[in-house]
Each structure stands twice: as structure tokens, then as C-alpha cells.
Structure 1
Amino acid sequence: MEITFYKYQGAGNDFVLIDNREGNVSLSTAQVAQICDRHFGVGADGLMYLQHSQDADFEMVYFNSDGNESTMCGNGGRCIAAFAHRLGAAGTSMRFMAIDGMHEATINTDGTVALQMQDVTDITFAGTYEILDTGSPHYVQWVTDTGAIDVFATGRSIRNEDRFQPKGINVNFVSRKGDTLVIRTYERGVEDETLACGTGVTAAAIVSAGRNTGRFDIPVKAVGGDLRVTFEKQEATNATHIVLTGGAQFVFKGSIDVA
């Protein structure tokens, strides 16, 4: 079966996107993993279908590189918004359905994509780390120097702790450099460090406000690029009006024969 695909990346977080508005593509877990394989496939952190929706401009269906359908992906959401605009499936402002509900996105005049995220209703503060769900579950650990962390070994260990099973958790290591957060992330499903994680960046930005309330605008530097998160906090343990903004670039179009 030959499949036409489009490759996109947002802050180095890369994805294979498939226009599946006619519903003709139904890949198995093994086939998704094959396409995402960096040695024997296209290579990507994840794969997405852009599908028809009766209630929105389109529906986003996201799979991790291990082939399993997963929870919300923030950079993936920004990339699929750019993809939808390229296809003519949406204008510069759009609404789309994802696994965690409805999202709005805007293609800005500078080419960046602003993605509205779901509200955060519960933040666990535990001293040296926080836990929250920004569409995907995240563990945020504060460190002095992200460059000194063995993200693969330490992240994998935390991700597989018994208390987070059976699904595991994404693990972020975050430090401050002036007004900017610096972040590295171990992603479940990819089972490795990724160059950026949109829901992880969002989580880090929100908990960086601590128990303070108000409106916040937080720049975040991931390994693969710069992102920005704006949000409001009316209480210490929640956040609303969350918007993740950053670049989302088309890389190439191709086709692959999937067995």
C-alpha cells in the first residue's frame, strides 16, 4: 500500500502527517512504527491523521512513534494546523477536535502557530518537582543545569516508576536562564529524549509561576527551538486561557510503500 505523506516539524519535534479526510487510510500499530522508524522508515516522533469532522474544521488523530494512539501533542497540534491551512482544509483561524477535546489555532502573520490548550485543573506541588496534565501527563523536575542531566537514563527511570503505571508519564528537566526556561524532555511512546515537547513546554511554563496568580507570558527554550506559553492563573493549582506559540514548518512531501 503506497501512502502519500507530509513531513512537518515544530521546534525539532517532527511528524508524519497524512490527509485522511476520505477515511481510506487505517494503519496498524506495526505500520505506524515502521513509518516513524528513523533507520527503516521516514523517521518521526509521531504520526497524525487529518480527518473529517462534522463539528470542526478537521479532527487530529495522533500516534506516538511506537505505533500506539496517544494523548494530546502540542507541537503536533501546531503542525497539523499548518498542514490543514496548506491543504485548504482551514483558514488562518481554525477549530479542530483532538483526543482531549476541541482546540483553536491561529496561523500568525510571522508564520508561527498559536494553539489554544485545554485548561489545567490540578497541579501537584511536591517541592523539587510538579505533576500536571496539559493534555498529556507531565512530571516537571527543576535542575540547576539541564546540560548536566542524563535525560535518557533519569527520564526513563522516572517514567517507569510504579506509581505512574500502567501508562507512564512524560518527564521534563527544567532550569531558569534569566526570564527564559530551558527544558529537556523524555517522552513516553517515543521512549527517548525529543528535541521539543509542546505539552511539556506548556507544563513547565505553568508550574514556573509557582503558586502565584495573574497573567503570565513565559518564553521557553527547547533543544530544537524557542516556544512561548501564555496563560492565566486564578488559583494556585489551575491555569486557563493557555496558548502555546512557535514555529511549525513543512519539511517535505513524499510517499512510502507500507507492507
Structure 2
Amino acid sequence: MRLEFTKMHGCGNDYIYLDCLKGMIDNAPELARRLSPRRFSVGSDGLICIAPSQVADATMRMFNADGSESAMCGNGIRCVAQWLYEHKVAGDEMTIETLAGIKHLSRKGEGIWQVEMGAAEFEPALVPVKGLGPDPVINRAIAVDGLPWQVTALSMGNPHCVTVVEDVQSLDLERIGPGFENHPAFPEHVNTEFIQVMGKNHLAMRVWERGSGETLACGTGACASAAAAVMLRLCEPDTDIALDLPGGRLTIRVSEDWQIRMTGPAKTVYTGVVEV
């Protein structure tokens, strides 16, 4: 069978996008596993299906490279918005349904989208975190592969673990990341963000994404990092926070009540057809 697709990325976080507006496909996890390997197939961080919605302009279904489904993808949802805009399904303002709720997006320039991401949740049951007590995990010490790390755990519709480091570029994430992703404190596995304070309201970040490994960017991870930095008083609330990722820059604003707004690019790379 020949499958048409669109390759898109947000700050280098690249996915294969499928037009499922006439009906959701039933083999998305298998396709994510088959099409995501780099050099052996199309190559991507995963697969995103653009499906119909009864309550929004469209629905986003996001599958990691290993076939597991995630509730939300910040870079992915901006690309879905760009796809809907380019195909004249929606205009400068739109809503997109996700497993983490309905998100409102606004076009802020050519290929630039702002997303109302919802609230950061620190309640352990909502992350989820288990075995670390009833209180929110804020700058808490945990052992990962026998080494101590200070972590802050929160949810952006998907689970995140944020840790502050002195030099983010020197980290060997291929060695460190799996220990975080599969840590028993995170029963649904976890996306792990390593952040370095570069200046006032300016962070550098690398991320190990559950199901995909290190990626060039993670939108929900950037939001989680900014929220954790505000919680730790490393950055200020109600102020634009610059997040530098290997694939580019995102701008995050965290309100006093932990509502988060993300602004960043979305780009169509190419369209193609693949035999599946």
C-alpha cells in the first residue's frame, strides 16, 4: 500500500504527519515503529495523525518512535496547526483536540504559532510519581543508576522530570537518559529535561524523551523546564523565558497560576509517498 505523508518539524523535533481527517487509521503504532527508524525508513521522532474532532478544528494523535502513544506534543501541535493552515482547514486562530485536552493556537507570523498549553501540574498523582511521598517532588534528591540527582517532577499532559546542571552540553544522554526514563518512581516512564541557567530568564535545555531517546527539541519539555525554573526561582513568572534547544529557540511564559504559553516555529519539510 502506498501511503502519502508530510514531514514537518518544530525546532528539529520532526514527525511524520498523516492526513486522517476522513477517519483515523487503526495501525498507527505499527506505522510509527516502521517509519521512524532513521536511515532505514522515512526517519523521525514519531508519527502524528491529524484526525477529525467533534469539538475542535481537528484532533492530534501522537505516537513515539517505539509506537507508544503520548497525550501531548508541544512541537507537534504547532506543526499540526501549520498543516491545517496550509491546507485551509483552519485560519489564524484554531483549536486542536489532544488526549491532554483542547488547545487554542494563534498564528503570530509566517510559520510561528503560539499555544495555550494549559497548567503545569506538580501533584504527584497527576505526573504520576510513586514512592517519593505525598508532597510534590520539587528539587528532590533521587538516585539514578546509583548516582544522585536533584529533580523536579511535573506534568504538562505528559510526565516530566527536570534537573538543573552546570553544563548541559557535556552530558552523555545516551548513557544517562534510559535510567531516568525507566526509573521506578515514574510508572508511566518520563521525559527528562536537563537545563542550564544561561542568564536572566534564559535557559539551555537538552531532553531525553520517553519512547524516542534524545530529540533536538521538546515543546512540553520546554514548558516543564520553564515551570520548574520558576518554581525554583531561577526564572520569573509572567515574563518571556528563552529556551535554547539543540534545534532552535522556544519562548515560554509561565503565569502566577502556572498557566503556560509557548511560542515557536513550525515548518513543512517535504511531502512524500512510502510503501507500507
Q: Same fold by TM-score, threshold 0.5 exceeded?
A: yes
Q: How has the CA–CA distance of structure 1 residues 23 and 110 changed in structure 2, closer, same or farther, with 3 Å as cutoff?
A: closer
The code of the aligned residue for 1:206 comes to: A
* SS across alignment from 1:104: strand
Work out the CA distance in 1 between the residues paired with 2:19 and 2:267: 17
Work out whether 1:178 is the aligned partner of 2:191: no
From 210, 219, 224, the counterpart of 1:203? 224
* Matched-pair contact (CA < 8 Å) for 2:161–2:192: yes
1:39 offset after TM fit, Å? Answer: 2.2
After TM superposition, the structure 1 = structure 2 runs for residues 58-207 of structure 1, keeping only pairs within 5 Å, are 58-122=58-122, 124-127=137-140, 128-165=150-187, 167-179=188-200, 180-190=202-212, 192-207=213-228
Cross-structure match for 1:218: 241
Work out the CA distance in 1 between the residues paired with 2:176 and 2:68: 23
After TM superposition, the structure 1 = structure 2 runs for residues 221-232 of structure 1, keeping only pairs within 5 Å, are 221-232=244-255
1:173-198, Cα deviation, whole Å (9 max, x unpaired): 100111310000001011x2100111
Q: How has the CA–CA distance of structure 1 residues 106 and 188 changed in structure 2, closer, same or farther, with 3 Å as cutoff?
A: same
* Matched-pair contact (CA < 8 Å) for 2:8–2:15: yes
1:231 offset after TM fit, Å? Answer: 2.0
Work out whether 1:245 is the aligned partner of 2:259: no
Q: List gaps (5 residues or longer) in structure 1.
A: none
1:197-242, Cα deviation, whole Å (9 max, x unpaired): 11111101111112557413100000110101012024xxxx11x1
* Matched-pair contact (CA < 8 Å) for 2:152–2:161: yes
TM-score, length of structure 1 as denominator length = 0.92
TM-score, length of structure 2 as denominator length = 0.87
1:73-118, Cα deviation, whole Å (9 max, x unpaired): 1101111111111111110110010011100111212431111102
The code of the aligned residue for 2:138 comes to: F
Q: How has the CA–CA distance of structure 1 residues 163 and 211 changed in structure 2, closer, same or farther, with 3 Å as cutoff?
A: closer
Q: How has the CA–CA distance of structure 1 residues 8 and 177 changed in structure 2, closer, same or farther, with 3 Å as cutoff?
A: same
Consecutive aligned runs of 4 or more in structure 1 exceeding 6 Å deviation: none
Structure 1, 115-124 or 242-251: larger mean CA deviation: 115-124
Work out the CA distance in 2 between the residues paired with 1:54 and 1:65: 28
Q: Percent identity?
A: 33
* SS across alignment from 1:209: helix
Work out the CA distance in 2 between the residues paired with 1:170 and 1:223: 16
